[in-house]
């Protein structure tokens, strides 16, 4: 039975991913702030290291899958927390669990990015600091900028780069690694943006060509496929599941 660790397992897309993978026969080690096999706060270095240690203990040091889904949106308490969870809460877990994945059976890892990643770039100092692994500097820059949408887009762009930059090294370890980039999906995170006085209107206007938001199960189905042996040649890819949003915004870039 494949053993897969899933961050953000208690809600939204992460919970749907757990259900889809359980249905596909996986044993799940869920990681979240509550209601999970591993209770941890991924916004701090100490919390991430505790999560890694607990996953290694519960898996016996061998993992077949890892899904980094935990994330916070633009309504998070600060811009720094957006980077701490969405970027460092992913990069540190990928690094900390790589050895366990390398010992797994046809191992695969996956990061939940976002279509918002396409609104950021590597020349932003905040993004450069994330990619350099300088958490103190990155959080300071994000908090000074004070723009949650830029922090969110930057965190998702940087985490996508981080995953893609691992493609060569992780292939040598035998681990596949992909990114799924959702558009708007009906979850508590999305609902909080809709209800927020600052971001509600922009969130409502962010409508995909298909005319609706996605359901968590529509993301989870793809994740389960990408984690399966049937996806054995898919590695280093960024797959948009966004009702056509990226095609509408950037028809000539892909
Ligand atoms: P959600 O709020 O339903 O679930 C997020 C989960 O992450 C929660 O269970 C939460 O407790 C956990 N989490 C947050 N901060 C944490 C921390 N410090 N330590 C441990 N766990 C923590 O949100 P949703 O929508 O399911 O989000 C999942 C992922 O999908 C996120 O990375 C989000 O950025 C991404 N995403 C969501 C979209 C949407 O429209 N819902 C669109 C594009 C990407």
Ligand 1 mutation pick, 10, 43, 46, 70, max ligand atoms within 8 A of CB? 70
Angle formed by the axes of helices 89-102 and 148-165, nearest 10°: 20
Verdict on whether the full-model pTM lies above 0.75:
yes
Confidence of residue 138 (pLDDT cuts 50, 70, 90): very high
Give the closest residue to 64 by CA, choosing from 18, 105, 110, 7: 105
What does the pLDDT read at residue 129? 98
- Strand-pair partners of 30: 6
What does the pLDDT read at residue 224? 98
User: Does the beta carbon of 215 sit less than 6 angstroms from any atom of ligand 1?
Assistant: no
Mean of pLDDT values over 153-180:
98
CATH says 3-240 is which class? alpha beta
SS3 8: coil
- The residue whose CA is least distant from atom 6 of ligand 1 is 8
pLDDT averaged over the chain? Answer: 98
Q: How far apart are CA 249 and CA 208, in angstroms?
A: 10
Give 9 Cα–ligand 1 centroid separation in angstroms. Answer: 9
Could you tell me the residue ranges of all domains in the chain?
3-240
Give the closest residue to 157 by CA, choosing from 120, 129, 110: 120
Mean of pLDDT values over 112-136:
97
Give the closest residue to 152 by CA, choosing from 81, 59, 226, 60: 81
Please report the atom of ligand 1 found closest to the CA of residue 10: 9
């Amino acid at each position: 039975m494949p053993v897969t660790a899933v961050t953000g397992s208690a809600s939204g897309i992460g919970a749907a991913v757990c259900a889809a993978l359980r249905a596909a026969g996986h044993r799940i080690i869920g990681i979240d702030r509550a209601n999970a096999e591993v209770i941890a706060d991924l916004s701090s270095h100490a919390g991430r290291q505790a999560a890694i240690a607990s996953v290694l203990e519960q898996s016996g040091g061998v993992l077949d899958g890892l899904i980094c889904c935990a994330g916070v949106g633009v309504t998070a308490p600060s811009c720094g927390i957006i980077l701490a969870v969405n970027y460092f809460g992913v990069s540190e877990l990928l690094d900390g669990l790589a050895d366990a994945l390398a010992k797994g059976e046809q191992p695969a890892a996956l990061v939940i990015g976002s279509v918002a990643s396409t609104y950021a770039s590597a020349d932003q100092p905040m993004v450069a600091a994330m990619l350099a692994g300088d958490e103190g500097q990155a959080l300071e820059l994000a908090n000074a900028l004070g723009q949650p949408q830029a922090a969110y887009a930057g965190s998702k762009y940087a985490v996508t780069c981080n995953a893609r930059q691992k493609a060569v090294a992780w292939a040598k370890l035998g681990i596949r690694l992909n990114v799924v980039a959702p558009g708007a999906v009906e979850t508590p995170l999305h609902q909080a943006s809709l209800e927020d006085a600052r971001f509600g209107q922009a969130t409502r206007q962010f409508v995909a060509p298909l005319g609706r938001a996605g359901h968590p199960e529509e993301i989870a189905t793809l994740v389960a496929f990408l984690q399966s042996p049937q996806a054995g040649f898919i590695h280093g890819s960024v797959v948009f599941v966004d009702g056509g949003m990226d095609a509408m915004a950037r028809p000539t870039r892909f």
